[in-house]
Homo-oligomer: A and B are copies of this chain.
């Protein structure tokens, strides 16, 4: 938690917040903070700044907002389409996506996504939000990425993706005899990353028809979370 991210519900006055639960525990046990300590704070969806701990005990932390006058870091100009990962990986990927500055994430079905993955409680909006908040706290960002869920591959890719990808550099991360993923692009990107085991050829064809060109990252097969980070670091 490199940033204490304040939400409306935390505020007991315009410049005063009261925390319990996870963040209180973190201040006590990880930061080993004390009354009087200064903290990096941010308003969810707003600015960054600093605060001071007025009171901290086992019950609650009371924080004075001192200033909120810095802009959050810029987002990457990217829309990331991700074949729904297995639940444990999903949690980590959501954190990674938020911490790397991805503003839009689409969780998409694919032939190799196990049907059971769609049943996970980690896909509930509150669970997704929780992981995104952890990612924002990590990277000192305040703006939640938009996450949308597309459980039907074909209608999404045929009917909606062409417009979504229009005017962007469209890419599909896919192992094989494809050009290497470009570096340091100075353009908005629509990037699709497949499931464990990769997209099937039909899916690559459909993504291609929607305007996305296959690119590869070398012969090593990476976990989804690692592939997401590696592709983003290379593109921007």
Contact = CB atoms under 8 A, between A and B. Distances in A.
Contact of A230 (B95, B140, B223, B232): B232
Contact of A140 (B101, B183, B220, B232): B220
Contact of A184 (B183, B220, B222, B232): B183
Interface residues of A, number: 27
A174 B116 CA distance: 41
A68 B141 CA distance: 49
Contact of A139 (B96, B140, B220): B220
Contacts of A226: 96, 99-100, 229
Given A96-B226, A184-B183, A226-B96, A138 B233 contact: no
Interface of A: 2, 73, 95-96, 99-101, 138-141, 183-184, 217-223, 226, 229-234
22 contacts: A2-B221, A95-B223, A96-B226, A99-B222, A99-B223, A99-B226, A100-B220, A100-B222, A100-B226, A138-B221, A138-B222, A139-B222, A140-B219, A140-B221, A183-B183, A183-B184, A229-B230, A230-B233, A231-B233, A233-B233, A233-B234, A234-B234
